[in-house]
Homo-oligomer: A and B are copies of this chain.
Amino acid sequence: MAAPNVAFPGRTTQDGNASKARNWLLKQVFRAIGPAPIRLAIETGGEYALPGSVPVATVRIPNLRTLAQMAVDPEIAFSEAFADGSVRVEGDLVRALEVVYDSLRSRGGYGWYGAWSNALLELFESNSLDGSRENIHRHYDLGNDFYRLWLDPQMVYTCAYFETPDATLEEAQRAKLDYVCRKLQLQPGESVVEAGCGWGAMALHMARHYGVRVQAFNISREQIEFARQRAKQEGLDGRVEYIEDDYRNIRGKHDVFVSIGMLEHVGRSQYARLGETVHRVLGDTGRGLIHSIGRSYRAPVSRWIRKRIFPGAYVPTLGEAMRILEPHGYAVWDVENLRPHYARTIEHWLARFDGARGVVSQMYDEQFERTWRLYLAGSIAGFRTGSLELFQILFAGPGCRHPFRETRASLYAPQAEDASSAGGRA
């Protein structure tokens, strides 16, 4: 573990009282997170920051015991203590996480303890059929009422597309649904399969505005029930079928495969099986779009996120994602990185979440609420700093000669936008 460029002893307001042990521990914490401009304040006395830095926030640590835990395993210790309320962040939580992520990037991660714990954690994770069902249940079946508090009315829980920075979340989610349809150049009468359909908004948008039939798969019961009800209410249940099953069980032939925000849950070990599913469905002539959080470098998902938020999650590089498509000769036509749009999307979510503060802690408890605030804030920081990316990958089968228009200009033509906001293309 290389030492970061940190000058020690740190600046202190009570140098006389600072014990050697405390100084040593603070040094270890700064070593672990890198030279980030944050202030560490110990409630029992002592306050430290990097000399010359202007701290963006103050992290209040209750005692030396918590400090010691943070020195050994800063990621888990900080996150758990933040969630139980014993560690507090004064100032902008997102900015604080941003500067730490930037600092970690420049020194290449959390070091040996993180790597070792990651390997250990992977032993207990499973992306088998049963494992995936349990993983998905733990996150997505928390209750539709909870997600309704902070998502848009259509309940789209993936990166939105902001045609202008001041678009509302509702507009941006609708724009995303339509953007995906336009990228895929859906034609009336085509058959689409969706793997991992969330609360069903994409399938409904496709059927309503593009005249396609959709089979949409999901293993979250709460989401499927919501989606079925909505399809019925909107008179689209004849064209959209929601199926409670795993993507690996998708059968039948379709023209188009679409998957928005599912790949993160698939797990690296299953990419070949996902590729087989795509090929079984599309053959050589179909086309598809995979929308997923990604990385610009290979690394596991934060251990704390996998422990508390997304068990079994893995976020691939573009190169790793190619393991799905290349064995079957699918040609990539378009990859777009929408990372700034995901930062903006989650800023909207976090603002709504914070607006519903009392409600969430009444629904669950304060620890749950803090856990979710940290997850949302950390995700914004991740997309802002580039520890996370968001890829939309458009592809077509080797037997699909002219799958898409020769230029992307029509995607951005004013008439396309007009048609979209008028909502009547099909």
Contact = CB atoms under 8 A, between A and B. Distances in A.
A325 B297 CA distance: 9
Contacts of A331: 296, 337, 339, 386, 389
Contacts of A72: none
Nearest to A343: B406
A413 interface: yes
B318 A322 contact: yes
A391 B394 CA distance: 13
A226 interface: no
Most buried by B among A330, A340, A406, A408: A406
A323 B320 CA distance: 11
Contacts of A106: 284, 399
Nearest to A341: B406
Interface string A394-413: 00001101100011110111
A294 B325 CA distance: 14
A326 B319 contact: yes
Given A296-B398, A334-B336, A105 B165 contact: no
A317 B332 CA distance: 9
A340 B406 contact: yes
Contacts of A334: 335-337
A317 B406 CA distance: 20
A340 B406 CA distance: 6
Given A165-B406, A409-B163, A412-B413, A337 B326 contact: no
B163 A407 contact: yes
Nearest to A322: B319
A329 interface: yes
B329 A105 contact: yes
Given A334-B336, A340-B406, A408-B336, A398 B105 contact: yes
A4 to B, nearest CB: 16
Contacts of A340: 402, 406
Nearest to A164: B407
A325 B323 CA distance: 17
A384 interface: yes
A298 interface: yes
A364 interface: no
A335 B393 CA distance: 9
A106 B409 CA distance: 32
Interface SS of chain A: helix, strand, loop or mixed? mixed
A384 B401 contact: yes
A406 B412 CA distance: 13
Contact of A329 (B165, B296, B337, B399): B296
A314 interface: no
A394 to B, nearest CB: 9
A323 B329 contact: no
A402 B340 CA distance: 8
Contacts of A398: 105, 296-297, 386
Contacts of A113: none
Contacts of A412: 407-409, 411-413
Contacts of A399: 105-106
Given A318-B318, A319-B322, 17 more contacts: A105-B329, A105-B398, A162-B406, A165-B406, A296-B330, A296-B332, A319-B326, A322-B322, A331-B337, A331-B339, A332-B337, A334-B337, A336-B408, A384-B401, A385-B401, A407-B412, A412-B412
- Which 6 pairs, one residue from A and one from B, show the smallest C-beta to C-beta distance? A319-B322, A335-B335, A296-B331, A297-B329, A409-B412, A412-B412
16 contacts: A105-B329, A106-B399, A163-B407, A296-B325, A296-B329, A297-B326, A297-B327, A317-B326, A319-B322, A322-B322, A329-B386, A334-B336, A336-B408, A340-B406, A408-B408, A409-B412
